[in-house]
Chains A and B, each alone.
Chain A
Amino acid sequence: GENVEQHPSTLSVQEGDSAVIKCTYSDSASNYFPWYKQELGKRPQLIIDIRSNVGEKKDQRIAVTLNKTAKHFSLHITETQPEDSAVYFCAARLLDSWGKLQFGAGTQVVVTP
């Protein structure tokens, strides 16, 4: 089955700097890659997603890149702000699987003023 590895597990950045989180997946059939943000004590919420027919997607300060050949995708947060502090999860879905969304272990991002 699909296996998703996420690095780093913790990331500390100064406010205004960029943050990058990387994920690798094992199954080349995966074609949908969402990223979720979970603030302390709250539920995960989708912040951006990418499909395998697209190499990059941006939404304001957030961008996701996908390298299908290398089977990895990354989340980029530019001009970080204290409210970006949270746990971020990447995920990958198998092409023909209705249910199996495989999550990475998460990255704790701390943005210090």
Chain B
Amino acid sequence: EAQVTQNPRYLITVTGKKLTVTCSQNMNHEYMSWYRQDPGLGLRQIYYSMNVEVTDKGDVPEGYKVSRKEKRNFPLILESPSPNQTSLYFCASSLARTTEQYFGPGTRLTVT
């Protein structure tokens, strides 16, 4: 089944404790992206990747890191999480820049 998976789905952590949210797609998509969703703000892009080893900042990259060492994986790294990073995070992938983006199931992160 073609899909985008994210892990973990739910995470409660404390300020400053490094964490990684994994994202994987099995559709051989070139493009992958991370978004955060906050009430009243819609979906804001954090980082995106056009292909392996090619990444760029979105609108809200501060406090996040990404890597794209393999085509199928695009992990999101929070080196030192802070409470303002409490949010719902979505990974997405698409075959090309103007084709449908397929979203993962989301990761709800709470930083205390």
Contact = CB atoms under 8 A, between A and B. Distances in A.
A43 B42 contact: no
Interface of A: 1, 6, 9, 32, 34, 42-46, 49, 51, 89, 91, 93, 97-106
Given A32-B98, A99-B97, A105-B41, A44 B48 contact: no
Say what secondary structure dominates the interface of chain B. strand
Interface of B: 31, 33, 35, 40-45, 48-50, 56, 58-59, 90, 97-98, 100-101, 103-106
Contacts, number: 59
Contacts of B42: 6, 89, 103-106
B40 A99 contact: no
A99 B100 contact: no
Most buried by B among A51, A98, A100, A106: A98
A93 B105 contact: no
A99 B48 contact: yes
Given A6-B42, A51-B98, A89-B42, A44 B103 contact: yes
B50 A99 contact: yes
B103 A93 contact: no
Given A51-B98, A93-B97, A99-B50, A45 B103 contact: yes
Contacts of A43: 90, 103-106
Given A34-B100, A43-B105, A51-B98, A99 B90 contact: no
Contacts of B44: 103
